[in-house]
Amino acid sequence: QVQLVESGGDSVQAGGSLRLSCVVSGYSNSRNCMGWFRQVPGKEREGVAAGLAGPYSPFATYYSDSVKGRFTMSQEKGSNTVYLQMDRLKPEDTAMYFCAAGGPSAGSRCLSRVNEYDYWGQGTQVTVSS
């Protein structure tokens, strides 16, 4: 049984930092995208960061324009944990953040193909106040 468990969400002031964690169990296919998505009520879920490892290549990461340069996704070597380091947070980053696995196998689709992810966590809330 595949499980994804996110943690690390909190309330912070603008300019602050948070690190989200996602522990994945029952799944180890690195050939498919893993991603971080966020959603606010009334809006569609959007991809903010995704990663994809090839058989001979390191973990390649992809970011949406809205978070590029502020967010960093990483994968802990030898473990099934992925992180999202979020720096210089803005009020517009306020959302429920979800970790997902089993996404597309092409990096160019990791962020945009939300419906192609097979496994999702329950989400962790990030609130950024001005």
Q: What are the pLDDT digits (tens) for 9-34?
A: 999 999 999 999 999 998 877 788 99
pLDDT at residue number 21: 97
| Cβ atoms of 2 and 24 closer than 8 Å | yes
Instruction: Please give the pLDDT value at position 86.
Output: 98
- Residue 54: the pLDDT is 67
* Alpha-carbon gap, residue 98 to 121, rounded angstroms: 6
pLDDT tens sequence across 59-101:
889 999 999 999 999 987 777 899 999 999 999 999 999 999 9
Contact at 8 Å (CB) between 103 and 81?
no
User: Which pLDDT belongs to residue 48?
Assistant: 97
